[in-house]
Structure 1
Amino acid sequence: MITSEPVGEWFWEPAPLVGPAGGGVLRAVGLLSGLADVLVACGLVTGEGAGWVVLVDRGAVGEPLFARRGVPPGEALVAAAGRADAVGLLPERLLNVGLELAGEWREAGAVRRAERLFTLRVEVWGEGAVLVALSAYADAWLTVDLRGRPQREVGEENAPRLAAALERISGVTGAPVDPGDPTRYARPAADGFADQGETGPEYDDAWGTFEVPARWRRLMKRLPGGPGDGDYESTTGQAVRYARVRCGERVLGFLWASDDGAAGYEPRNAAGAAAFEAGVPWLARLRSARLRGVRAPEALEELLGAAAEGRGGGSVLEPVVYGAVSLDALEELSGRS
């Protein structure tokens, strides 16, 4: 299953990158690109993704001196680093460069993909200190999935590649790996994750307990006005009907409704940030229908009709309606597909 928050993180502290001649930003991006190549060589990521370069004064972190986000890896990221380098990585300043990377894992003989399987970042203090961080966003490396179900074969098939990457990053950085603190989902270790088959997961259903509510809060923060009385109920114990929201051939999420008056949108985590961006206008349209007194099932039909007439705008709502035995089942689909 794919998460919107890290399942685990690992850290390294390489030698300083800042010298008297400057160029610290470009060297940081060079290190970042080299580490991304390690992940590619280990078969964890595809090399596709988006990066960022942010330079701040530590006394005013909310007002960046330079910021570029959504930058493709490669020449565009190097160019952004060059412009940040011209601003200057001086003492009392902090540089953050990183990449969100698409990646793949193997499950039941099939190759699965997520648009953000890992994030990799390099932080550099103007005085010279460096921190490298790697974050993972799936449970493919675990012997127990995020719902507490054993998946030893999945973990054993994928974990060696993660272990190899962690070891190679230590070699490139010249620093030992420091596993991050235990998360709600797993306990990171120097070679990947601790074997949950021996100790059992921290929570029986971390997915339902933490991930699903976190996704809802993330969507509500993006929706103008946040959650309100004008919205349909966001949970139901009944079966749901849903349609897929997509952009091109990629499914971004699922718009759903139930007969007891609930309706909402479930982002497809494998699609990354685009899944959350696509959900906002559809949730706004549901809110508009609710304020007009339209029942939830009819609101879904209304939006399907608007999409068929080409009035959906942006992402597309497929005209095919599916059924799920429960909202919980649809939420799990949104994390697995």
Structure 2
Amino acid sequence: MITTEPVGEWFWEPSPVLDAATSGASRSLALVGEVRDVLASLGLVTGGGTGSVVLCDRSAMAHPLFERRGVPVAAMAEQVAAACLLPGRQLTVSLVLPGEWLETGIRRRAEKLFGVRIEVWGEGAVLLVLSTYADIWLTQDLRERPQPEVAAVNAPRLGAALNQISKLTESEIDPGDATRHARPTPDGFVDMLVEGAEYDDSWGTFEVPVRWKRLMRLVPGGSAAEDYESSTEHPVRYARVRLGEQVVGYLWAAIGDEAAGYEPRTAAGDAAFEAGVPWVLSLRSLRLRGFDPLAALSELLGTPDRGGSGSAVESTVYEAASLDALEELSGRY
């Protein structure tokens, strides 16, 4: 399953940059590129991805001096060069990387499989962070179902990547703290079939609410009182929402009560959340006009490019036994 918050993170402290003002920016760009190459060499990441460049005074981290986000990887060098790194400042260069894995013999893809972050201080200190947003390395998925075969295919490549990054940086790996989903180790993750999960059903307990809150932060007015109910115990009908050829989410309505909404397909990355905003607003408008949830869904079927988002709702309607089942579908591939 694909998450919006890291399943696990690992940290390294490469040698400090001797003259950060002159070479700190170029060092950060080179290092994220080298880590990306390591992941690509093992077939973990594919072409594409986006980056961000943030320069802050460490006394006012909430107010960046320079900030560029959603930058294509090919354009990162120009943005990094524009950041002036001086003592008392911190430069953060990050990449969001798409990747692929094998599951039941089929190659799957997520637009945000890994994150790479480099922090360089004006005094020269360097920190490298690698994050992963999938449970494919775990012997048990985020709903506590055993998946040793999935882990056996994918986890060794993650372990090899961690080892190669340690050699690349000539520094020791520091596994991050246990997350809500799993506990990282120097070569991957603990065997959850042996140690067990930290929390019951971490997907439903934590990830689903986090996704909903992230979506609502993008919607003007947030979670307004005019919205349909956001949860239901009844079966739901749904239609896929596309952005070009890619499915980015699911518009749904409950069969039997006053609930309706949008579930982002997390494997589609940030686009899944952005594409959902106009459809949440459309549902809100239809509720204010007196439409019941199923009628609102029917009204939006086949609607193209609502709100200038470029996304469109398909005309075909499917049915899921529960909203929980649809949420799980949206978190898979």
Q: Normalised by the size of structure 1, how large is the TM-score?
A: 0.95
In the TM superposition, residue 64 of structure 1 has moved relative to its aligned partner by 1.8
Structure-1 separation of matches of 2:258 and 2:137: 39
Structure-1 separation of matches of 2:21 and 2:12: 25
Structure-2 separation of matches of 1:79 and 1:311: 34
Indicate the SS of the match to 2:117: strand
Structure 2 unmatched ranges of 5 or more:
none
2:280 is equivalent to residue 283 of structure 1: yes
Which stretch has the larger CA shift, 200-209 or 148-157?
200-209
Indicate the SS of the match to 1:59: coil
In the TM superposition, residue 60 of structure 1 has moved relative to its aligned partner by 2.1
Indicate the SS of the match to 1:38: helix
2:330 is equivalent to residue 334 of structure 1: yes
Aligned match of 1:98:
94
Choose from 297, 315, 319 the match for 2:315. 319
Aligned match of 2:41:
41
Structure-2 separation of matches of 1:240 and 1:109: 30
2:112 is equivalent to residue 116 of structure 1: yes
Indicate the SS of the match to 2:22: coil
Aligned match of 2:139:
143
CA contact (8 A) 1:2 1:137 kept: yes
| 226 and 311 in structure 1: CA distance in 2 versus 1, 3 angstrom threshold | closer
2:229 is equivalent to residue 233 of structure 1: yes
Indicate the SS of the match to 1:77: helix
Number of residues paired by the alignment?
Answer: 331
Aligned match of 1:197:
193
Q: Show CA shifts across 1:132-187 (max 9, x none).
A: 00000000000000000000010111000000000000001111100000001000
Structure-2 separation of matches of 1:203 and 1:261: 31
2:213 is equivalent to residue 217 of structure 1: yes
2:121 is equivalent to residue 125 of structure 1: yes
The letter for the 1-side match of 2:298 is E
Structure-2 separation of matches of 1:14 and 1:24: 12
Indicate the SS of the match to 2:79: helix
In the TM superposition, residue 312 of structure 1 has moved relative to its aligned partner by 6.6
Residue identity over aligned pairs, in percent, reads 62
Aligned pairs (5 A) from 1:247-286? 247-259=243-255, 260-286=257-283
Q: Show CA shifts across 1:239-291 (max 9, x none).
A: 11101111111000000001311100000000000000011110011111111
2:185 is equivalent to residue 186 of structure 1: no
The letter for the 2-side match of 1:286 is L
Aligned match of 1:79:
78
Structure-2 separation of matches of 1:154 and 1:224: 40
Structure-2 separation of matches of 1:107 and 1:162: 15
Aligned match of 2:296:
299
Structure 1 unmatched ranges of 5 or more:
none
CA contact (8 A) 1:17 1:28 kept: no
| 261 and 103 in structure 1: CA distance in 2 versus 1, 3 angstrom threshold | same
| 171 and 264 in structure 1: CA distance in 2 versus 1, 3 angstrom threshold | same
CA-based RMSD of the aligned residues comes to 1.3
| 71 and 311 in structure 1: CA distance in 2 versus 1, 3 angstrom threshold | closer
Indicate the SS of the match to 2:226: coil
| 165 and 193 in structure 1: CA distance in 2 versus 1, 3 angstrom threshold | same
Indicate the SS of the match to 1:46: coil
In the TM superposition, residue 20 of structure 1 has moved relative to its aligned partner by 6.6
Indicate the SS of the match to 1:183: coil
Q: Normalised by the size of structure 2, how large is the TM-score?
A: 0.97
Which stretch has the larger CA shift, 22-31 or 156-165?
22-31
